[in-house]
Structure 1
């Protein structure tokens, strides 16, 4: 006998009913099938297994030793089959599955908790896989189909679909007591007298700042330290005379409140929006469900 068994799941269901009722006629009534059809079902199973499953006992049927073992295994197979089909239905309606979420450093403090709470409340069987990084890195992850959704700064390009939820302002900041705050009639050129801690060159806020100085015929700020996550090193900024370019949301966050101060200069005030970014085309139902929950939350 070959080790590979070709058994129809429907035959397993019929077999379970026959075994439970121990009577072919009663099983036929319950299943709304003819007795000959059920007889053929049993014959197919016995032929595939190479062993008898039932033996006659009066007007009824009794399981053989092989039949009893097969009954136990058939039940497990059928239950697993039903569970996986049920899971597939949950996957299709978005109530189960996994969403791979990329999150920027700023939105890790602001939008990410909202997403997690929405998923826990409205889609508890949806698992979230979260990656923290810059938009530059996260967009590349989407291109490689390693992420389903980015929560972070949204940019106006046609490569991805974007939806904005929160307005954000990025400003120059320094520790409280920094010498820059003693300068009267502060201008852009004054800021070049100091070293900076800045985002990496590919990051949009860094590009914007460099272009600002270039547009005023000035040299670019000197980056003494470059990082892909400014919000996470506020203690370093607060303990040095380095200038930085940070979101006002970060300045107002409990972790940094009172430690850093905005260097108020109209030219260095950058407006942007935070929201979600995802690829064009087909999305998993769970991803669509999460996007819908975010839309409803921010409506």
Structure 2
């Protein structure tokens, strides 16, 4: 039987790639970690690491074992949390992953309601790109992700999602852009250059897929940015096209001086909500937060977003 302490030591060494770094992180000696690795390799009868200079590199078996040990440690953490929750009720910690805009748009109201109803709950918020957040969700290092519900999350049995509001993402340009001097067609869009989020962002992936399905040339991306707050001025001064939430064009919104390029073919309809890993332990506090969010749907509809979700 694998000891949880050995599992933790192994994961730390594997992630550090060095006994010295792992020993410093764990507060243990290098010989102690060496004995741990030897115990595991003797028990499994297989080599988990090989030396490449001063680096410890995982073997093929080591990579498989690392995945299993991460899951094992995650499961052990869930068991501890579940047992603790049985004694404390709605308490403990909720680990939330969110796109930057969703964190600003949805979470202030929701967390205020949660703290009001469950003062003992603590929150850990990670703001990041969707690929990083979804990987963390799968590895059970976060409990919930707030953001757009993509096809992969909505259709996969692996995830459970809760829709909270909808949103349209549209092509935009500065008010005086020359594109408005001509008939507007998808082919017209293909003739101009763009400022967009990175290739891993769902909105950009959708737009690129749409261009391909329409038989258009590839998007001419001249600039990439992860900040919506840079976009309006960039779009205005560079005469680049972009792809942002229609809500951002409303009076008082970040893109109020921009103009929509009204084409049905390049209008992306998306849902915002919460995503959780179906197999993961659903803490009472996390269930309460989801319930508060579902009861708050009406407050999110027709409310201007402070910016598009550049993280998804």
5+ unaligned residues in a row in structure 1: which ranges?
Answer: 1-87
| 1:208 counterpart SS class | helix
8 A contact 1:176–1:260 mirrored in 2: yes
1:124 to 119, 122, 125: 119
Does 1:150 find its partner at 2:145? yes
Does 1:297 find its partner at 2:304? no
d(CA) in 1 for partners of 2:126, 2:253: 21
TM-score by length of structure 2 reads 0.61
d(CA) in 1 for partners of 2:181, 2:143: 47
Shift in alpha-carbon separation, 1:265–1:91, aligned structure 2, 3 A: farther
d(CA) in 2 for partners of 1:111, 1:291: 12
| 2:290 counterpart SS class | helix
8 A contact 2:92–2:285 mirrored in 1: yes
Shift in alpha-carbon separation, 1:218–1:111, aligned structure 2, 3 A: same
8 A contact 1:231–1:246 mirrored in 2: no
d(CA) in 2 for partners of 1:263, 1:241: 13
Does 1:102 find its partner at 2:97? yes
Q: Bigger radius of gyration, 1 or 2?
A: 1
The farther-off stretch of 105-114 and 142-151 is 105-114
d(CA) in 1 for partners of 2:169, 2:232: 15
Q: Specify the alignment match of 2:171 in structure 1.
A: 172
Give 1:240 deviation, angstroms.
2.0
d(CA) in 2 for partners of 1:248, 1:224: 22
d(CA) in 1 for partners of 2:99, 2:168: 15
8 A contact 2:149–2:271 mirrored in 1: yes
Does 1:208 find its partner at 2:206? yes
Deviation digits for residues 164-202 of structure 1 (CA, Å, limit 9, x no counterpart):
11011010012222222222x211111122211112222
Q: Specify the alignment match of 2:70 in structure 1.
A: none
Q: Specify the alignment match of 2:13 in structure 1.
A: none
1:93 to 84, 89, 93: 89
Does 1:237 find its partner at 2:235? yes
Deviation digits for residues 12-43 of structure 1 (CA, Å, limit 9, x no counterpart):
xxxxxxxxxxxxxxxxxxxxxxxxxxxxxxxx
8 A contact 2:194–2:240 mirrored in 1: yes
Report the aligned-residue RMSD: 2.4
Shift in alpha-carbon separation, 1:292–1:238, aligned structure 2, 3 A: same
Shift in alpha-carbon separation, 1:200–1:91, aligned structure 2, 3 A: farther
Structure 1 residues 55-94: aligned runs within 5 Å: 88=84, 92-94=88-90
Give 1:232 deviation, angstroms.
5.5
Structure 1 residues 211-230: aligned runs within 5 Å: 211-230=209-228
Give 1:91 deviation, angstroms.
7.0
TM-score by length of structure 1 reads 0.64
5+ unaligned residues in a row in structure 2: which ranges?
Answer: 1-83, 299-312
Report how many aligned residue pairs link the two structures. Answer: 211
Give 1:89 deviation, angstroms.
6.0
Deviation digits for residues 121-141 of structure 1 (CA, Å, limit 9, x no counterpart):
222332222222232221112
